[in-house]
Amino acid sequence: MNNFHPIFIFYGDDLMRIKIALALMSAIFMFYWAGVLISYIPWSIPVTILSFGDLTELLSIISFLGSVLFLVEARKVLPRWYLAVPLSISLFILVIASFWMNFFSLLSDHMGTVDALLITLMTLLSPFSALVFLSMDGHPDSMNVYFAVSCVTSMLSMVLLFFALRGLSHALSEGWPTFNTVAVPTLLNWCILMPIIGICFLLSAITYRNHGKVLNPVTIGSTQN
Protein backbone atom coordinates (compact mmCIF):
# COMPACT_ATOMS: atom_id res chain seq x y z
CA MET A 1 0.00 0.00 0.00
CA ASN A 2 1.11 3.57 -0.63
CA ASN A 3 2.23 5.57 2.38
CA PHE A 4 1.05 9.15 2.67
CA HIS A 5 1.64 11.82 5.25
CA PRO A 6 -1.85 12.21 6.80
CA ILE A 7 -1.40 15.95 7.24
CA PHE A 8 -0.95 16.41 3.45
CA ILE A 9 -3.24 13.64 2.19
CA PHE A 10 -5.76 16.10 0.71
CA TYR A 11 -3.05 17.51 -1.59
CA GLY A 12 -2.80 14.34 -3.69
CA ASP A 13 0.38 12.44 -4.54
CA ASP A 14 4.01 13.53 -4.10
CA LEU A 15 4.26 14.98 -7.59
CA MET A 16 1.15 17.10 -7.18
CA ARG A 17 2.31 18.39 -3.79
CA ILE A 18 5.60 19.58 -5.28
CA LYS A 19 3.70 21.34 -8.06
CA ILE A 20 1.47 23.04 -5.49
CA ALA A 21 4.52 24.04 -3.44
CA LEU A 22 6.22 25.63 -6.47
CA ALA A 23 3.07 27.57 -7.31
CA LEU A 24 2.70 28.82 -3.73
CA MET A 25 6.34 29.96 -3.61
CA SER A 26 5.67 32.31 -6.53
CA ALA A 27 3.26 34.43 -4.44
CA ILE A 28 5.71 36.87 -2.86
CA PHE A 29 7.45 37.51 -6.19
CA MET A 30 4.20 38.78 -7.70
CA PHE A 31 3.23 41.01 -4.77
CA TYR A 32 3.67 44.33 -6.61
CA TRP A 33 1.43 43.37 -9.53
CA ALA A 34 -0.98 41.70 -7.11
CA GLY A 35 -1.32 45.07 -5.38
CA VAL A 36 -1.85 46.82 -8.72
CA LEU A 37 -4.51 44.27 -9.67
CA ILE A 38 -6.30 44.62 -6.35
CA SER A 39 -6.37 48.40 -6.69
CA TYR A 40 -8.22 48.09 -10.03
CA ILE A 41 -10.88 45.66 -8.80
CA PRO A 42 -13.96 47.75 -7.86
CA TRP A 43 -15.18 45.45 -5.11
CA SER A 44 -11.73 44.71 -3.66
CA ILE A 45 -10.40 45.80 -0.30
CA PRO A 46 -9.41 49.48 -0.46
CA VAL A 47 -5.71 50.21 -0.69
CA THR A 48 -5.95 52.22 2.51
CA ILE A 49 -6.96 49.02 4.33
CA LEU A 50 -4.74 46.53 2.51
CA SER A 51 -1.44 48.35 2.92
CA PHE A 52 1.94 47.50 1.45
CA GLY A 53 2.94 45.77 4.66
CA ASP A 54 -0.29 43.75 4.83
CA LEU A 55 0.09 42.47 1.28
CA THR A 56 3.77 41.67 1.79
CA GLU A 57 3.02 39.75 4.97
CA LEU A 58 0.14 37.79 3.43
CA LEU A 59 2.06 36.74 0.32
CA SER A 60 5.27 36.01 2.24
CA ILE A 61 3.30 33.67 4.52
CA ILE A 62 1.87 31.87 1.47
CA SER A 63 5.33 31.53 -0.07
CA PHE A 64 6.83 30.36 3.22
CA LEU A 65 4.21 27.63 3.58
CA GLY A 66 4.92 26.63 -0.02
CA SER A 67 8.67 26.40 0.71
CA VAL A 68 8.03 24.20 3.75
CA LEU A 69 5.81 21.91 1.69
CA PHE A 70 8.50 21.80 -1.00
CA LEU A 71 11.15 20.78 1.53
CA VAL A 72 8.93 18.06 2.98
CA GLU A 73 8.29 16.53 -0.45
CA ALA A 74 11.58 17.32 -2.21
CA ARG A 75 13.68 15.46 0.33
CA LYS A 76 11.98 12.26 -0.89
CA VAL A 77 12.93 12.70 -4.53
CA LEU A 78 15.71 15.30 -4.85
CA PRO A 79 19.26 14.49 -3.68
CA ARG A 80 20.01 18.22 -3.33
CA TRP A 81 16.75 19.22 -1.66
CA TYR A 82 18.73 21.11 1.02
CA LEU A 83 19.50 23.85 -1.52
CA ALA A 84 15.95 25.07 -0.97
CA VAL A 85 16.57 25.67 2.75
CA PRO A 86 17.99 29.24 2.35
CA LEU A 87 14.83 30.38 0.55
CA SER A 88 12.64 28.92 3.28
CA ILE A 89 14.69 30.63 6.01
CA SER A 90 14.67 33.98 4.21
CA LEU A 91 10.90 33.76 3.73
CA PHE A 92 10.44 33.06 7.43
CA ILE A 93 12.55 36.11 8.33
CA LEU A 94 10.58 38.13 5.76
CA VAL A 95 7.33 37.14 7.49
CA ILE A 96 8.71 38.37 10.82
CA ALA A 97 10.08 41.60 9.26
CA SER A 98 6.75 42.28 7.52
CA PHE A 99 4.88 41.74 10.77
CA TRP A 100 7.24 44.10 12.58
CA MET A 101 6.94 46.70 9.83
CA ASN A 102 3.14 46.66 10.01
CA PHE A 103 3.15 47.60 13.67
CA PHE A 104 6.26 49.71 14.18
CA SER A 105 7.84 50.93 10.96
CA LEU A 106 5.44 51.49 8.08
CA LEU A 107 7.22 52.91 5.01
CA SER A 108 7.61 56.64 5.36
CA ASP A 109 9.98 59.42 4.46
CA HIS A 110 12.44 58.18 7.08
CA MET A 111 13.07 54.49 6.66
CA GLY A 112 14.17 52.42 9.63
CA THR A 113 16.35 49.37 10.00
CA VAL A 114 13.40 47.03 9.48
CA ASP A 115 12.57 48.65 6.15
CA ALA A 116 16.17 48.32 4.95
CA LEU A 117 16.11 44.67 6.08
CA LEU A 118 12.86 44.13 4.19
CA ILE A 119 14.33 45.50 0.95
CA THR A 120 17.45 43.38 1.39
CA LEU A 121 15.45 40.21 2.06
CA MET A 122 13.23 40.81 -0.97
CA THR A 123 16.36 41.10 -3.10
CA LEU A 124 17.99 37.98 -1.66
CA LEU A 125 14.93 35.93 -2.60
CA SER A 126 16.15 35.90 -6.20
CA PRO A 127 19.53 34.15 -5.65
CA PHE A 128 17.95 31.80 -3.13
CA SER A 129 15.33 30.93 -5.76
CA ALA A 130 18.15 30.05 -8.15
CA LEU A 131 19.26 27.47 -5.57
CA VAL A 132 15.76 25.97 -5.59
CA PHE A 133 15.90 25.52 -9.35
CA LEU A 134 19.42 24.11 -9.01
CA SER A 135 18.08 21.53 -6.56
CA MET A 136 15.84 20.27 -9.36
CA ASP A 137 18.78 19.84 -11.75
CA GLY A 138 18.49 16.50 -13.54
CA HIS A 139 14.80 17.02 -14.23
CA PRO A 140 13.42 18.29 -17.56
CA ASP A 141 15.68 20.67 -19.49
CA SER A 142 13.22 23.49 -18.87
CA MET A 143 14.36 23.52 -15.24
CA ASN A 144 17.84 24.48 -16.46
CA VAL A 145 16.25 27.42 -18.27
CA TYR A 146 14.60 28.57 -15.05
CA PHE A 147 17.93 28.29 -13.23
CA ALA A 148 19.70 30.35 -15.91
CA VAL A 149 16.99 33.02 -15.89
CA SER A 150 17.02 33.22 -12.09
CA CYS A 151 20.82 33.57 -12.08
CA VAL A 152 20.72 36.52 -14.49
CA THR A 153 17.85 38.09 -12.56
CA SER A 154 19.74 37.59 -9.30
CA MET A 155 22.82 39.39 -10.58
CA LEU A 156 20.72 42.35 -11.74
CA SER A 157 18.83 42.48 -8.45
CA MET A 158 22.08 42.51 -6.47
CA VAL A 159 23.31 45.44 -8.55
CA LEU A 160 20.08 47.31 -7.79
CA LEU A 161 20.44 46.45 -4.11
CA PHE A 162 23.94 47.92 -4.12
CA PHE A 163 22.67 51.23 -5.50
CA ALA A 164 19.72 51.22 -3.09
CA LEU A 165 21.88 50.64 -0.01
CA ARG A 166 24.52 53.13 -1.16
CA GLY A 167 21.83 55.77 -1.67
CA LEU A 168 20.29 54.93 1.69
CA SER A 169 23.63 55.24 3.45
CA HIS A 170 24.39 58.56 1.78
CA ALA A 171 20.94 59.94 2.61
CA LEU A 172 21.25 58.94 6.27
CA SER A 173 24.68 60.54 6.56
CA GLU A 174 23.39 63.78 5.01
CA GLY A 175 20.10 63.80 6.89
CA TRP A 176 18.05 63.63 3.68
CA PRO A 177 14.70 61.83 3.21
CA THR A 178 15.61 58.22 2.57
CA PHE A 179 12.65 56.81 0.65
CA ASN A 180 13.42 58.67 -2.57
CA THR A 181 16.98 57.34 -2.62
CA VAL A 182 15.84 53.71 -2.80
CA ALA A 183 12.61 54.13 -4.77
CA VAL A 184 13.98 53.66 -8.30
CA PRO A 185 16.21 50.57 -7.80
CA THR A 186 13.70 48.99 -5.43
CA LEU A 187 10.73 49.49 -7.77
CA LEU A 188 12.74 48.10 -10.70
CA ASN A 189 13.35 44.97 -8.67
CA TRP A 190 9.75 44.68 -7.48
CA CYS A 191 8.10 45.53 -10.81
CA ILE A 192 10.31 43.60 -13.24
CA LEU A 193 12.90 41.25 -11.76
CA MET A 194 10.88 39.60 -8.99
CA PRO A 195 7.87 38.90 -11.25
CA ILE A 196 10.23 37.15 -13.67
CA ILE A 197 11.22 34.76 -10.86
CA GLY A 198 7.57 34.35 -9.94
CA ILE A 199 6.73 33.37 -13.52
CA CYS A 200 9.58 30.84 -13.46
CA PHE A 201 8.08 29.24 -10.35
CA LEU A 202 4.62 29.09 -11.95
CA LEU A 203 5.98 27.58 -15.15
CA SER A 204 8.07 25.08 -13.20
CA ALA A 205 4.93 24.05 -11.31
CA ILE A 206 3.31 23.27 -14.65
CA THR A 207 6.27 21.49 -16.26
CA TYR A 208 7.70 19.66 -13.23
CA ARG A 209 7.60 15.89 -13.35
CA ASN A 210 9.34 13.06 -11.52
CA HIS A 211 12.26 12.45 -13.86
CA GLY A 212 13.31 8.87 -14.40
CA LYS A 213 16.81 9.46 -13.01
CA VAL A 214 15.49 10.61 -9.65
CA LEU A 215 13.68 7.86 -7.76
CA ASN A 216 11.33 8.26 -4.86
CA PRO A 217 12.78 6.29 -1.91
CA VAL A 218 9.41 6.14 -0.17
CA THR A 219 7.80 4.58 -3.25
CA ILE A 220 10.68 2.12 -3.56
CA GLY A 221 10.33 1.07 0.07
CA SER A 222 6.56 0.61 -0.29
CA THR A 223 6.99 -1.50 -3.43
CA GLN A 224 9.50 -3.82 -1.78
CA ASN A 225 7.11 -4.39 1.11
Residue 221 has pLDDT above 70, yes or no: no
Return the axis-axis angle of helices 85-104 and 113-135, rounded to nearest 10°: 160
The pLDDT value given to residue 210: 63
Residue 194: C-alpha distances to residues 25, 82, 95, 162, 187 (Å): 12, 22, 17, 16, 10
- Output phi, psi for 168, to 5 deg: -65, -45
Number of H helices, E strands in the chain: 9, 0
Residue 160 has pLDDT above 60, yes or no: yes
The pLDDT value given to residue 166: 80
User: Under a CB-based contact definition with an 8 Å cutoff, are residues 64 and 84 in contact?
Assistant: no
Percent of all residues in the chain with a pLDDT value above 90, rounded to a whole number = 33
78 or 110, which is more confident: 78
Band (219; pLDDT cuts 50, 70, 90): very low
User: Under a CB-based contact definition with an 8 Å cutoff, are residues 22 and 204 in contact?
Assistant: yes
Q: In this predicted model, what pLDDT tens digit does every residue of 13-32 receive, in sequence order?
A: 678 889 999 999 999 999 88
The pLDDT value given to residue 28: 93
Q: In this predicted model, what pLDDT tens digit does every residue of 81-129 receive, in sequence order?
A: 999 999 999 999 999 888 877 766 544 544 556 667 788 888 999 999 9
Cα(141)–Cα(97) distance, integer angstroms: 36
Q: In this predicted model, what pLDDT tens digit does every residue of 33-76 receive, in sequence order?
A: 887 777 776 655 554 445 666 788 889 999 999 999 999 998 88
The pLDDT value given to residue 115: 67
User: Under a CB-based contact definition with an 8 Å cutoff, are residues 66 and 25 in contact?
Assistant: yes
User: Under a CB-based contact definition with an 8 Å cutoff, are residues 208 and 136 in contact?
Assistant: yes
The pLDDT value given to residue 196: 95
53 or 183, which is more confident: 183
Cα(131)–Cα(101) distance, integer angstroms: 28
Cα(158)–Cα(72) distance, integer angstroms: 29
